[in-house]
Amino acid sequence: MERLIERFIKYARIHTQSDEESTVTPSTSRQFDFANQLKEELQQMGLTEISLDEKCYLMATLPANTDKKIPTIGFISHMDTSPDFSGKDVQPRIVKSYDGLPIVLDQKENIVMDPKDFPEMLDHKGEDIIVTNGQTLLGADDKAGIAEIVTAVEYLLEHPEIKHGKVRIGFTPDEEIGRGADFFDVEKFGAEWAYTMDGGEMGELEYENFNAAAAKVTFKGRNVHPGYAKDKMVNSMLVANQFMNLMPMDEVPERTSGYEGFYHLISMKGEVENTVLSYIIRDFDRPNFEKRKLDFEQFVSVINKEYGEGTAVATIRDQYYNMREKVEPMKHVVDLAYNAMKEVGVTPKVSPIRGGTDGARLSFMGLPCPNIFAGGLNFHGRFESLPIPNAQKAMQTVVKIIELLAKE
């Protein structure tokens, strides 16, 4: 377990932030710095079939140690950290036996992680917790997952008495900018199914996620001198505002939970002549998802009916779909993880992901891929943390999945 934590801290210090403005893969060359270090580490451990391709996808194999016919399964995590907050010069530190009080991350700048703001901290009272110095994110998303997978296969190599089949591991770039599965070679990976280690709190087990689309509406206006604008000017910003008022006000992220879908305005840029609104559209239910897109186009039609055809132009692009459609026919994949968690003393928490995961796209690429907790909290910001028992149980869950599959 000490090696697990040492490994995570070492990984967290490597700068691997992705860049959503980049048009190449990986989006940042620094992700190769981490990938090359990982590749060397896996070689030294004795894994086989190690490959690192030109797109920064790293794969390796834990060979089977039994002649018993066992399905090949995989475990996947991503190497990049979010561009939402700095991932450079990460300085993790361990808070020993957390006492339930606010944690001062940076005394000079008065950056404090307070359980009044983050009540989940109290669930980990008495535990050792890895935190940041308040200036960066931590990178538990998803370097905790990588450390847990690597340590799990290392443990199995050191304990040959635990019989297991062939296990594939894969580490991907650019997941945080939605491109983690873009160049993932499912055939080369060669697993019958896999698990992404990319969830949060201990016990999370997810095989449902949003159906997702991105939508953009461009509004065209007409600008004339404001002193002589009567019956001539069309202010595209006001037309865009009229469009926004057509949208259902209660179907937004801040007013929805559970299985409820939403429309989310993520950016608006405009002037009199031209305004652009960018939305994301989300729903768990596929028919409802399709209806949401049709309703969105109908709102555009309302604007065009009033101001003239072409005043509002929408583009809608599907991003990913609910993995449940592909995973549920193979429910034993979820049951295996569920039982493994119980075996290592973790209470499984099966819940939908109100978001997406590489596993969703991989499931539709032919690799059913539920998501398992990696243990981190408060991702993508200075208050990210990793309770050490969470990481330990995640690593044990990986080992137990592999062990139970061989027994079955």
In this model, does residue 382 exceed pLDDT 90?
Answer: yes
Specify the pLDDT at position 19.
Answer: 95
Encode pLDDT of 291-324 as tens digits: 999 999 999 999 999 999 999 999 999 989 999 9
In this model, does residue 283 exceed pLDDT 90?
Answer: yes
Place of tokens 């049951």: 335
Percent of the chain with pLDDT over 90: 95
Query: Do 338 and 207 touch, CB atoms closer than 8 A?
Result: no
Distance of CA 127 to the CA centre of its chain: 25
In this model, does residue 233 exceed pLDDT 90?
Answer: yes
Specify the pLDDT at position 66.
Answer: 96
Distance CA 308, CA 221 (A): 11
Confidence of residue 272 (pLDDT cuts 50, 70, 90): very high
Specify the pLDDT at position 333.
Answer: 97
CA atoms within 13 A on the CB side of 287: 0
Catalytic residues: 80, 175
Confidence of residue 1 (pLDDT cuts 50, 70, 90): confident
Specify the pLDDT at position 199.
Answer: 86
E-strand ranges in 241-273 read 262-270
Torsion of CA 148, 82, 355, 325, to 10 degrees: -60
Query: Do 376 and 390 touch, CB atoms closer than 8 A?
Result: yes
Distance CA 296, CA 236 (A): 18
Percent of the chain with pLDDT over 70: 100
Distance CA 94, CA 98 (A): 10
Place of tokens 């900018």: 177
Mean of the pLDDT values across residues 172-188? 94
| Domains of the chain by start residue, with CATH | 2-208+323-407 (3.40.630.10), 211-320 (3.30.70.360)
Query: Do 61 and 168 touch, CB atoms closer than 8 A?
Result: yes
Q: What is the DSSP letter of 222?
A: B
In 3-state terms, what secondary structure has residue 387? strand
Helix (H) or strand (E) holding 145: helix 140-158
Encode pLDDT of 26-79 as tens digits: 999 999 999 999 999 999 999 999 999 999 999 999 999 999 999 999 999 999
Distance CA 365, CA 314 (A): 28
In this model, does residue 407 exceed pLDDT 90?
Answer: yes
Sequence-ordered list of residues with C-beta below 8 angstroms from that of 28, at least 6 positions apart, any chain: 16, 17, 18, 19, 22, 80
In this model, does residue 356 exceed pLDDT 90?
Answer: no
In this model, does residue 23 exceed pLDDT 90?
Answer: yes
What backbone phi and psi angles, to 5 degrees, belong to 407? Answer: -70, -35
Query: Do 275 and 222 touch, CB atoms closer than 8 A?
Result: no
Encode pLDDT of 78-131 as tens digits: 999 999 899 999 999 999 999 999 999 999 999 999 999 999 999 999 999 999
Sequence-ordered list of residues with C-beta below 8 angstroms from that of 117, at least 6 positions apart, any chain: 383
Q: What is the DSSP letter of 102?
A: P
Specify the pLDDT at position 307.
Answer: 96
Say how many residues make up the chain: 408
Specify the pLDDT at position 57.
Answer: 98
Distance CA 257, CA 63 (A): 43
Encode pLDDT of 129-147 as tens digits: 999 999 999 999 999 999 9
Specify the pLDDT at position 11.
Answer: 98
The pairing of strands 193-199 and 73-78 is: parallel
**Pick from 63, 1, 5, 60: nearest CA to 35:** 60
In this model, does residue 355 exceed pLDDT 90?
Answer: no
Specify the pLDDT at position 357.
Answer: 83
The pairing of strands 73-78 and 111-113 is: unpaired
Confidence of residue 178 (pLDDT cuts 50, 70, 90): confident
Average pLDDT, the chain: 96
